[in-house]
Structure 1
Amino acid sequence: MGAVGGSLWHGTKGYRHSPYGERRAGAIAAIKMRAPVLGGNFGTWGGMFSTFDCALKGLRRKEDIWNSVGAGFLTGGSLAFRGGFRAARNGAIGCAVLLAVIEGVGIGMQRLMAGSTKLEVGFFPTTVRRLLTHALTQAPTPAVA
């Protein structure tokens, strides 16, 4: 995801900031230069997040949204740690909030989609009951010889 997103972002940026006749070459040069770096950074973030997520699942012995939020907090803080306490605090809080929003949207979408798959209570058994009652109350038709 990071390499694809980085290619799109830096390709567009290189295209826009190049002279008119060299835009395609400028886009490709920008992709070659910056997209692998962004892809690597995304991979680093994903690896750290997965490590913290699994560690929290093991420690808490639960699998819920708080593991993701906590892992996001630890990941954001760890990645921004070199910038000092303030940067680490802001990175941790920002990443935790982002993951809380993602988890909240995921839960909302699940509830939204689950509402359309509920069966109507009483519909199926009533229909079956009517069919069985109708079949049992009908007189058998005489066989034609």
Structure 2
Amino acid sequence: MGAFGGGIFQAVKGFRNSPAGVNHRLRGSMMAIKSRAPQLGGSFAVWGGLFSMIDCGLVKVRGKEDPWNSITSGAMTGAILAARNGPVAMVGSAAMGGILLALIEGAGILLTRFASSQFPTGPQFAEEPVPMSATVFGDYAQYQ
């Protein structure tokens, strides 16, 4: 997913930054894809793997699956990946990761509520069930 999205982004970037002429621009686009898309795909894979590991760990430790696990996982992933750049970068990346995941989780919750409100559920049983009389089965006592 990261390589595909990165490939599209790098194709546009390479096309725009190449000299005039369709052949030059297409060649520049392909060179940008070949040089940068695998790196973006690898970075996305590292981010996704670390996020999933932290998320599953939080589910195990907390014993419940809720949006707070994803938000915390996003913040912790951002902090861990920015650790080599110092504590200020860690705090900034943690805040951005937490905010990004909070927005994603919030959008998911709103979408679920909106979609479920389109299909209201009525009462399961409109009236109290009436017990069947014993004469329904006739003389067959074993069925009562």
Q: Normalization by structure 1: what TM-score?
A: 0.82
Q: Give the residue type in structure 1 aligned to 2:104.
A: I
Match of 2:3 in 1: 3
Which letter does structure 2 place at the counterpart of 1:37?
Q
> In the TM superposition, what is the alpha-carbon distance from 1:121 to its structure 2 partner?
5.0
SS in 1 for 2:121: coil
Distance 2:122 2:66 in 1: 30
Measured in 2, the distance between the counterparts of 1:53 and 1:40 equals: 20
| Offset of residue 125 of structure 1 | 4.8
The match for 1:54 is: 56
Offset from partner CA, 1:16-42 (integer Å, 9 cap, x none): 111123000100000000011001000
What corresponds to 1:117 in structure 2? 119
User: Which residue does the alignment assign to 2:105?
Assistant: 103
How many residues align? The count is 125
Structure 2 unaligned regions, length at least 5? 128-144
Which residue does the alignment assign to 1:94? 96
Distance 1:82 1:55 in 2: 23
Letter paired with 1:5? G
Aligned match of 1:135: none
Distance 1:125 1:91 in 2: 54
Structure 1: gaps spanning 5 or more residues: 127-145
Partner of 2:33: 31
Q: Could you say which residue in structure 1 is the equivalent of 2:136? A: none
C-alpha distance in structure 1 between counterparts of 2:54 and 2:105, whole Å: 16
Q: Which amino acid aligns with 2:60?
A: G
Separation in 1, partners of 2:52, 2:123: 42
Counterpart CA distance in 1 for 2:52 and 2:122 is 40
Shift of 1:119: 3.1
Structure having the larger proportion of residues in helix: 1
TM-score, length basis structure 2: 0.82
